[in-house]
Chain A
């Protein structure tokens, strides 16, 4: 009998304890679920630092390890390979002649000359040729880690999506961009990149919707700034104009080109395009106007 009483007492105590602990546990587990990842919770705000490092690491991988150290950068008074190239025009990597990549210069001494045998000392790119585009997948882990650690860094999503598209993995690119959009709603760069994905999937209506949204958000977010992101605007407008001209809506296409003329550093060139469209000529994206300086 005594045993039964003890058991009952224990059960009652356990039940009481459970009712006391349950709300606290629920609160804790909700908070834990809200956190994006364990790593992000552990690292706190320093995760942005790591995210930045991982993003740079992706660029290191894109150059197959050939990358300047902070010492090379400080000596050259430059801030790295990407500074010479447009950050968003990722295809710029395809023309190494356009930028300075010889950060190593001539060997400084015999140790330097000897040491160059033991690290990547030639400028190359992953996925330079079409068939080798799959090689560029090696940069994806660092992009993903960067995006995971700092989801508010939209660049991680757009660069990742760009390379996924290059590999013909448009669905993965879209999925990744949707993740980015959840953390950066109405980010015009993500919307623009999503538009490119839908265009690749031949869904021009959705692409147009996204670019129009991107353009509206660009006006809201950027136009009031002292140094607006003109390159982004130029890219959105060029694609919108081309889509409209292709769909036979030349007036709307020309309206977008007029807008493009305002943000372009070469309005005369854009005016020529407007005249071409007015004359009924097709609007060729490959001969797109030069990227304005940022």
Chain B
């Protein structure tokens, strides 16, 4: 565990030093504040459109941070040849992978906390309410979804040659799941035949990240809290997929030549 936390600590430090988060945070804040300054029939209490824009920007920014960070972890170590002394410590390949994932995940958690704090302040300034429970559920589910995406990206970075191709492919896959994932069974019904069966299989196989992204609508439209047991089940669901992707990454990485 100490080895994993040490590796994660290094990743966390590297993420803090990088400028991705700061640039994306400033952009999110700037766009949100510009949108907040728009005069809508002289009504200062209109808030939902602002929450929608802000949460959308937070999701996009968090995906950029998470996928960008995870995609370069393994290739960068290999390119700089720092992976050899690291694995000779001895650090096992599984510890190396889990450490990298944990570091990225913690960094994403810190970034999300900052983003959601900003979101909470903006929303509270208009609606004079602070639904902490809802925000906490949204943040934790967002963070859990990022855990899955980070593990998926780490697995992809081992198979694919360059970080750029990993980033592109993972973005396409995650985008596809977010937009289509929940409706694949409906498409499968329409398609029928072998294609339909394959689509159905895909529907049950993929991690349904859209469940986590949909929580935005509950926050935007002031819906009540998700039952806590359901929330816990969602976190468990994300945890299972994270483990599956980390296991896949390890299976791919354990016998791979490093040079």
Residues of A within 8 A of B (CB): 61, 64-65, 69, 71-72, 74-75, 108-109, 111-112, 114-115, 117-120, 137-138, 140-142, 144, 164, 169, 172, 176
Interface of A is mostly: helix
Does B27 make an interface contact (CB < 8 A)? no
Please determine whether A118 and B226 come into contact, CB atoms closer than 8 angstroms: yes
Q: Which of B211-259 contact A (CB under 8 A)?
A: 211-212, 214-215, 217-218, 220-223, 226-227, 230, 233-234, 237
Chain A residues whose C-beta falls within 8 Å of the C-beta of B218 in the assembled complex: 65, 118-120
B183 contacts A117, C-beta separation under 8 Å: no
Given A117-B226, A140-B41, 17 new contacts (CB under 8 A):
A61-B48, A64-B222, A64-B223, A65-B217, A65-B218, A72-B186, A75-B186, A111-B208, A114-B234, A115-B208, A117-B234, A118-B212, A118-B215, A120-B218, A137-B41, A138-B47, A141-B46
Q: Which residues of B contact A117 (CB under 8 A)?
A: 226-227, 230, 234
A-B CB contacts (within 8 Å), total count: 84
Chain B residues in the interface with A (C-beta under 8 A): 38, 40-43, 45-49, 141, 182-183, 185-187, 189-190, 203-204, 208, 210-212, 214-215, 217-218, 220-223, 226-227, 230, 233-234, 237
Among all A-B residue pairs, the 9 with the closest Cβ atoms: A71-B183, A119-B214, A141-B49, A65-B221, A65-B217, A64-B221, A138-B48, A118-B214, A117-B230
10 contacts across the A-B interface (CB closer than 8 A):
A61-B49, A108-B185, A109-B185, A112-B182, A114-B237, A115-B208, A119-B215, A138-B46, A142-B49, A169-B41
State in angstroms the CA–CA spacing of A65 and B215 once bound together: 11
CA–CA, A114 to B211, complex, Å?
Answer: 9
Chain B positions within 8 Å of A120 at CB level: 217-218, 221, 223
Q: Which residues of A contact B141 (CB under 8 A)?
A: 118
Q: How far is A142 from B215 in the complex, measured between Cα atoms in Å? A: 21
Contact partners of B215 in chain A: CB under 8 A: 118-119
CA separation between A69 and B48, bound complex, in Å? 20
C-alpha spacing A71/B210, complex, angstroms: 15
A111 to B45 alpha-carbon distance, docked (Å): 37
Contact of B204 with A140 in the complex, beta carbons under 8 Å: no
Which chain A residue shows the least CB distance to B45?
A137
Which chain B positions have C-beta within 8 A of A142?
49
Q: Contact: B49 with A114, CB < 8 Å? A: no
